[in-house]
Copies of this chain bind each other. A is one copy, B any other.
Amino acid sequence: AVASPAIAQSAPEIKWRLASSFPKSLDTIYGGAEMMAKQVAEMTDNKFQIQVFAAGELVPGLQALDATSNGTVEMCHTVSYYYVGKDPTFAIYASVPFGLNARQQNSWWYQGGGEQLGNEFFKKFGVIGHPCGNTGTQMGGWFRKEIKTVADLSGLKMRIGGIAGQVLQKVGVVPQQLAGGDIYPSLEKGTIDAAEWVGPYDDQKLGFQKVAKYYYYPGFWEGGPTVHAFTNLEKYNALPKSYQAILTNACANANSWMAARYDMQNPAALKQLVAGGTQLRPFTNEVLDACLKATNELWAEISAKNADFKKSIDAMQAYRSDEYLWWQVAEYTFDSFMIRSRTRG
């Protein structure tokens, strides 16, 4: 792409529009884009302004990437696994079942070759991605009845989308695609039996605790999902180098900001949920083992017909093996002791 004359100067006035996939009410995940835009404005004395539009204001939330690809907007803030219908490879750079935790996902992207692989793939859709938020490990969702065995999942109607839905389908779940606002009434009426969303802070806002008693963990399909900012590649390439650097640094800052903010907000929400009667339940090893087996089967099936997917999933899995080899030594044993000593007061 060639820089347009209008922005050949070193600090031009630029106004961009960003389409978020999230409603304003989910202030932390939506807020990641606003935080990033605020940093860009402050770093440029308001010369580079990015106006953030909530899902539906310009385009529906799940069309944020298309609107960026085709230049309707310059940027979007979204989760790449929403676009597995175009290509399942998208999911790997956000989060896939039994993938990486948040810090490992960042390490893979920033230092382990993920950025090169990911942006090589995203280029096919005319965009460049920057991590711009992470939720940390999500919860496994809300269930109206207890799930102890794989047999308990049989025929269970669960709101869960994308590639995680495909995995759960292999163990008997009937995945349902529902927009955020439709989940609560469906759970209440019993049209669905279970639903996953994000974690305590966001889930509490949507009120799921009033219509489902059991709150399962961990959300093994989202160990540490990245929320990306995607920028139309031509628009990005036409920016002055200093603005590209400013955008990159603002996204990196927002990437940490979102995880830090969820980590601040989730404990209070969790305490309130439990005080209100929510029953926390871990997925049993039987369930987790069956889902891991289903996941590995699905990766083999997709890899057989999709070279991009194979390249990315193989790279991610090799990185994951090394990461957990190290993680289990210092990080995990530190956390283990801190958790054990905390409950002893």
| CB atoms of B328 and A339 under 8 A apart | yes
| CB atoms of A45 and B101 under 8 A apart | no
Instruction: Select from chain B the residue with minimum beta-carbon distance to A291.
Output: B337
| CB atoms of A267 and B333 under 8 A apart | no
Q: How large is the interface on A (under 10, 10 to 19, 20 to 34, 35 or more residues)?
A: 35 or more
| CB atoms of A242 and B42 under 8 A apart | yes
Interface string of A34-71 (1 = CB under 8 A from B): 00000100111100000000000000000000000000
| CB atoms of B334 and A107 under 8 A apart | no
A327 located at the interface, meaning its Cβ lies under 8 Å from any Cβ of chain B in the complex: yes
Binding stretch for chain B, among A163-171, A177-185, A218-226, A306-314: A218-226
Expressed in whole angstroms, the Cα–Cα distance for A156 and B111 within the complex equals 38
- Complex contacts, A242 vs chain B, CB 8 Å: 42-45
| CB atoms of B42 and A326 under 8 A apart | no
| CB atoms of B256 and A106 under 8 A apart | yes
| CB atoms of A256 and B263 under 8 A apart | no
- Complex contacts, A326 vs chain B, CB 8 Å: 200, 263, 266-267, 270
Shortest A226–chain B CB gap in Å is 12
| CB atoms of B259 and A329 under 8 A apart | no
Q: Contacts A42-B242, A245-B43 known; A342 to B325 CB distance under 8 Å?
A: yes
Expressed in whole angstroms, the Cα–Cα distance for A271 and B285 within the complex equals 29
A11 located at the interface, meaning its Cβ lies under 8 Å from any Cβ of chain B in the complex: yes
Instruction: Select from chain B the residue with minimum beta-carbon distance to A329.
Output: B217
| CB atoms of A264 and B111 under 8 A apart | yes
- A267 contact from B220, B253, B323, Cβ within 8 A: B323
| CB atoms of B257 and A110 under 8 A apart | yes
- Complex contacts, A11 vs chain B, CB 8 Å: 11
| CB atoms of A260 and B106 under 8 A apart | yes
Q: Contacts A45-B242, A245-B43, A325-B270 known; A218 to B333 CB distance under 8 Å?
A: yes
- Complex contacts, A209 vs chain B, CB 8 Å: none
